[in-house]
Amino acid sequence: MKVIPIKTMKDGSLDLVDLEAKASKHQNELAAIMITYPSTYGVFESHVQEVCDIIHRHGGQVYLDGANMNAQIGLTNPVKCGADVCHLNLHKTFGIPHGGGGPGVGPIGVAGHLAEFLPTHPMINVRTDKYYCGGKTATAIEPVSSAPWGSASILSISWSYIKMLGGSGLTLSSKIALLNANYLAHALKDHYDVKFKNEHGLCAHEFLIDFTEFEKKYGIKVMDIAKRLIDYGFHPPTCSWPISTSMLIEPTESESLAELDRFLDALIAIRGELESEEGRALIKASPFDLDSAFRLAAHSHPSFPPSSTSSSTDLLVQKAVYPLPSLKTNKFWPSVARVDDTYGDMNIFCTCPSVEEVAGSSSST
């Protein structure tokens, strides 16, 4: 199969003219389109039904990425949008912890006309009603997992979450997720370049901040700001996606107003550091013959001694480690100093002894 990219408009929405042209051009081999709703740009695609209609008219199917389902529950759904297939990220919408690579769970739902193609499994009996969930049919595909229903220990969390909240509670969660994101985006618009809003000036449950201006002015990249957020006591949001110079902020429905305000204080303070003379000293100065106090964020406890013979150095240390007064009584200390980010992921090396060294030590003993 071949992927055909579709253009987007300046507001982040799909270019329907380009979509129509490419769907028509490739209609004889068109299989499907994959869309995320709301989009990863943090905006509801207002033409999502038209997008689905274009694909269907040219013989394709629509796969809707349900990663952002926590902005939909009780307000809309994949069926209304026109999707044929959709997975639900339980670790983003239905209470399962998200981070550290898992545990991710994503049950997949399909429209009725695709039910007969769902995976079969030797432990599942054929069901012929409208809630058919796979079985031994001529068109069913082979098993894709040894556990067809996923992990019972994980799924029980989502089941409990849904049962306790009920329909009205789940809808309220979606509304609060949307409210929290728009609260942050509105408060930050005078301090940062907040990208992509709809015709009403609103975002969905997440929004993008673009840090291009800071790279041009000071050589500070999105990862520098992400690491600096750790000094303020925050695990940084998603970085460099879907734009390499951006940070994707998704407060969800679970953050309190006090926590949202604490996050705002941190980001606004970081903007102040980048613009003030004292802040630029954090970027350029090298208090311990290091490259930069700002670029070395996040600072672990051993990085800086509690006092110094130089008053100016001590001031920089204090500003680097305790950028806000509240952090002196409630400070998170990273267990390690900053590492080399993606370089270490792409340049793997072994720290164990070589085979020759091991062989040599064995023969000598």
pLDDT digits (tens, 9 = 90+) for 22-38: 999 999 999 999 999 99
3-state secondary structure of 286: coil
pLDDT computed for residue 130 by the predictor: 46
User: Stretch 123-139: mean pLDDT, rounded?
Assistant: 57
Largest CA distance in the chain: 80
Amino acid at 46: S
Q: Quick one: pLDDT band at residue 103, thresholds 50, 70, 90?
A: low
Amino acid at 148: P
Lowest mean pLDDT among 14-23, 39-48, 285-294: 285-294
pLDDT computed for residue 98 by the predictor: 64
User: Stretch 86-107: mean pLDDT, rounded?
Assistant: 75
- Please answer whether residues 290 and 317 qualify as being in contact, where contact means their C-beta atoms are separated by less than 8 angstroms: no
Q: Find, among 343, 45, 18, the residue nearest to 203 by Cα.
A: 45
DSSP 236: -
Residues carrying CATH 3.40.640.10, the chain: 16-157
Parallel, antiparallel or unpaired: strands 246-249 and 85-88 = unpaired
3-state secondary structure of 247: strand
Could you give the percent of the chain with pLDDT greater than 90?
46
Lowest mean pLDDT among 20-34, 84-98, 192-206, 338-352: 338-352
Cα-flanking dihedrals φ and ψ of residue 194, to 5°? -85, 120
Check if CATH label 3.40.640.10 holds for domain 16-157: yes
pLDDT at 291 over 60: no
User: Stretch 309-335: mean pLDDT, rounded?
Assistant: 76
- What is the pTM for the complete model shown? 0.84
